[in-house]
Chain A
């Protein structure tokens, strides 16, 4: 009997992917949950490696009860066979596949099925192809980091990276940290590092209180989130973290590794205020300027993007039949929003794969949560911003493309002397963005230094793959129904 159920491939096992998996599995769909991690949780609920024997992992987490609910739900579905969880599967691309039998999205016969191509980790030499009737993209986000002199020194890490190694590996890169940049992620990173024993000397945030007052209306719609912010403020105080609002890092100093950073106050024009520079000794700088959605798989399937995010309708459907998207890939808004979107997407996918429509009356609570949290995150996104003239602080010698070691001077020359007018031309002239990371780490930085728009680049396959994978035929049997 279960062989007759439609198959939904959910890509990403973070909050959105897990909520979607549980919602779809509860409604008669077989779910193949595909994730690059070794355990479910994604970045937000990243779990310590089992070998580390953490008896109180919640000390590093927020909303732990929600995690326990997701974990229990997943375990139940794994046990009853409704969900298969493929860990350490790094998805490279997804394609439409007419050999998948059945009529998956019955109101749209144009979408017969899909094949998901993934590399097996951690070595990533072998690949697999996974067939499904529908695909739900819950691919999350990665961190945006803008360049500054010294940002390539060992000891300078992304805020999320410091948090990932803390949550997953229970380790710190040093003992004395500065957390800097802009965005809500800096708060849990600073308090997390401090709770784990690092001396966090400063939290350097380029936004200031006025940026929030101006948006108080959209922010007031989510009092729970404001209370969360107040909780962080109390913890920062308890750990004696000096909060420097409307400040920015001017430079990271060191020879073989980070030794100190210089920070300065920002004036009303968004430029550093003369005479305010302050040098802070530290061996760790955790820095981030917000998150960027992972949209490569959606883009490869031909889904329409809205700016940097995948465009979805009220049911979280993309404009490609049979493809849903939820969570940060559809716009960065945090774990609670991802849960609501994942739930709505899973419900819609289950209904559509069975040839019916999701019951609108029963979606209202999740839909209301989604509306409220989207408004809140838009308010936050407007309030948190890097310094208006950050690119002026990037000296010509500063490497902006970390992979290809392209300096800001080379990018400026491409624009000034060679006449490059867009990111693509800058890339062709300088190699900025052509390395292993496929431009993910430098795109915003290069665009800012060049004075070009940061148009999302097409990146397929979504990660570097061995050539054999491109040549290999797909050989696993398509699912029948």
Chain B
């Protein structure tokens, strides 16, 4: 059993996004966080001071732990932003403004 089977999902045509340069498959409507979780990725940010990995925590846009760089724009909340075909998603290092 998986969540898609449980609700008998008939998802739209999958597309690909890039995460740190590698292609991963995405289903339409999923947020960046849901796409990354589905690909087995749980961390996409390193903290400013400790460089520690972070990913989703609250899942509803409150905690800002899941910040990620999408198409060159840092500090996007992965749990809110929908994944778009061809999106270039990158692990955000620190503030995301250092490069």
Contact = CB atoms under 8 A, between A and B. Distances in A.
A240 B18 CA distance: 38
B3 interface: yes
Given A51-B11, A171-B37, A441-B63, A158 B6 contact: no
Given A50-B29, A161-B59, A165-B34, A55 B7 contact: yes
Given A55-B9, A405-B50, A142 B58 contact: yes
B68 interface: no
B22 interface: no
A277 interface: no
Contacts of A161: 56-60, 79
A195 B7 CA distance: 10
Contact of B1 (A152, A196, A437): A196
A420 to B, nearest CB: 21
Nearest to B67: A436
A77 interface: no
A49 B28 contact: yes
A173 B32 CA distance: 13
Contacts of B59: 157-158, 160-165
Contacts of B2: 172, 196-197
Contacts, number: 174
A260 B70 CA distance: 31
B8 A172 contact: no
Given A166-B3, A196-B3, A52 B58 contact: no
A197 to B, nearest CB: 4
Interface residues of B, number: 49
Contact of A51 (B7, B12, B81): B12
A169 interface: yes
A56 interface: yes
A436 B62 CA distance: 9
A250 interface: no
Interface in B1-24: 1-12
Contacts of A155: 42, 55
B74 interface: no
B65 interface: yes
A171 B12 contact: no
B30 A49 contact: yes
A441 B3 contact: no
Interface string A52-70: 1111110110000000000
Contacts of B11: 51-53
A55 B10 contact: yes
A441 B48 contact: no
B50 to A, nearest CB: 6
A459 to B, nearest CB: 11
Interface in A98-155: 121-123, 142-143, 152-155
A181 to B, nearest CB: 14
Given A121-B80, A256-B53, A435-B64, A195 B30 contact: no
A55 B7 CA distance: 6
Contacts of A243: none
12 contacts: A51-B12, A121-B80, A123-B73, A153-B53, A155-B55, A162-B59, A163-B59, A165-B31, A197-B6, A405-B49, A437-B63, A441-B58
Given A154-B53, A157-B57, A173-B37, 10 more contacts: A52-B4, A122-B77, A123-B81, A152-B52, A152-B54, A153-B53, A154-B43, A161-B58, A196-B6, A441-B58
